[in-house]
């Protein structure tokens, strides 16, 4: 079983990337959160390998918390690997903990493919397990305060680089104040890193 890949990011497509490890290209399916955090050049991904009769599939994660949540989500009937990645694209581990603790069906239905019935099943089956699951180190934001667009992507990138969510949010608030909410992802990440370096 493959548990980790370290190599050059060869290409990124919707929902997947190719990691070149010593000349061998591995096709890895990822959440948009992980794909957005991949650096140019050398990258390390934690891998969940799934073997079926007709295929061996690799699912990649930038953080251990995301991989643990993927494993847990796919234990729920009706949640396959693709849907699990879709949920992790829509909600961070912290937001999942908050949604399950608060029994917030609306937060889960933001993920493509998750209808009200499946959301209720996820909330019911994972209610007792969510508290023991890893998050990003900060309390989940209420749905109304969840960052969107480039700000959300920049927040994901900074937390995946190891900054605490609260620090990253404060740095990005300064970046948005300086450059406006319509600032590009590059500008927000650079400004956020500059603020965090101080």
CATH topology of domain 64-132: DNA polymerase; domain 1 (1.10.150)
Cα angle: 185, vertex 136, 49; to 5 degrees: 90
Q: What is the mean pLDDT of residues 35-43?
A: 89
**Residue 59 scores a pLDDT above 70:** yes
Residue 40's alpha-carbon distances to 116, 184, 191, in angstroms, are 38, 18, 19
Per the DSSP assignment, residues forming a β-bridge with 59 are 29, 48
The string of pLDDT tens digits covering residues 97-146 is 888 888 888 889 988 899 999 999 999 999 888 767 776 543 333 333 44
Token pair of 102, please?
């608060």
Which residue intervals of the chain bear CATH 1.10.150.20? Answer: 64-132
DSSP code per residue over 90-111? HS-HHHHHHHHHTT-HHHHTTS
| Burial of 57 from C-beta contacts in 10 A (0-12 / 13-18 / 19+) | middle
pLDDT of residue 7: 95
3-state secondary structure of 198: coil
pLDDT of residue 4: 93
The string of pLDDT tens digits covering residues 147-173 is 557 788 888 888 777 777 777 877 888
| DSSP strand pairing (42-51 vs 56-61) | antiparallel
Which residue intervals of the chain bear CATH 2.40.50.140? Answer: 4-61
- φ and ψ of 28, to 5 deg: -125, 125
d(CA 158, CA 189) in angstroms, rounded, equals 7
pLDDT bin (cut points 50, 70, 90) of residue 73 is: very high
Which residue intervals of the chain bear CATH 1.10.8? Answer: 147-197
Task: Specify the CATH number for 147-197; select among 3.30.70, 3.90.70, 1.10.8, 2.30.29.
Answer: 1.10.8
pLDDT of residue 147: 52
More confident site: 176 or 109? 109
The string of pLDDT tens digits covering residues 75-95 is 999 999 999 999 999 998 888
pLDDT of residue 136: 52
The yes/no answer on whether domain 4-61 falls in CATH 2.40.50.140 is yes
pTM of the model as a whole: 0.66
């Amino acid at each position: 079983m493959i548990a980790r890949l370290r190599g050059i990011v060869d290409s990124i497509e919707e929902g997947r990337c190719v990691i070149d490890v010593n000349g061998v290209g591995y096709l890895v399916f990822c959440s948009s959160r992980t794909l957005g955090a991949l650096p140019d050049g050398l990258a390390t991904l934690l891998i969940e390998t799934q073997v079926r009769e007709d295929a061996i599939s690799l699912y990649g994660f930038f953080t251990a918390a995301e991989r643990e949540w993927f494993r847990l989500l796919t234990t729920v009937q009706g949640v396959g690997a693709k849907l699990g990645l879709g949920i992790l694209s829509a909600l961070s581990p912290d937001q999942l903990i908050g949604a399950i603790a608060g029994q917030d069906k609306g937060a889960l239905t933001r993920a493509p493919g998750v209808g009200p019935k499946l959301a209720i099943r996820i909330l019911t089956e994972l209610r007792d397990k969510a508290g023991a699951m890893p998050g990003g180190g900060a309390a989940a934001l209420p749905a109304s305060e969840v960052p969107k667009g480039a700000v959300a992507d920049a927040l994901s990138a900074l937390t995946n680089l190891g900054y605490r969510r609260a620090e990253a949010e404060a740095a990005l608030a300064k970046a948005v104040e300086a450059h406006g909410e319509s600032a590009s992802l590059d500008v927000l990440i650079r400004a956020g890193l500059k603020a965090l370096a101080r």
